[in-house]
Amino acid sequence: MNAEHAIEIGQTAVTTVLTLLGPILAVALVVGLLVAVFQTMTQIQDHSISHIPKLVAMILALSILLPWLLQRLTEYTSTVFTSIPSSLFGG
């Protein structure tokens, strides 16, 4: 295994993680902003109110995106496992 191959695997891992987590984190961000705007408009000063809507939205997004997430993760894992022999034995 040469350095270029190891760097490529690392870069692919990071981009895969960001691709998989990006939509869920975006949902949490949008819901958090909406709750913050609602709290500002109603002058509610409790910081714990935003946790439940974000948690529910993230669970809902995860349940909707789960087939796509699993497919992408399976593709990445398959790619890494098939590249192991060529990286170890130079083939």
pLDDT, tens only, 13-61: 999 999 999 999 999 999 999 999 999 999 988 888 889 999 999 999 9
Asked if residue 24 lies in contact with residue 58, where contact means CB atoms within 8 angstroms, the answer is yes
pTM of full prediction above 0.75: yes
d(CA 29, CA 61): 12
**Stretch among 43-47, 72-76, 85-89 having the lowest mean pLDDT:** 85-89
d(CA 86, CA 60): 40
Q: How confident is the model at residue 1 (pLDDT cuts 50, 70, 90)?
A: low
Q: What is the pLDDT of residue 41?
A: 93
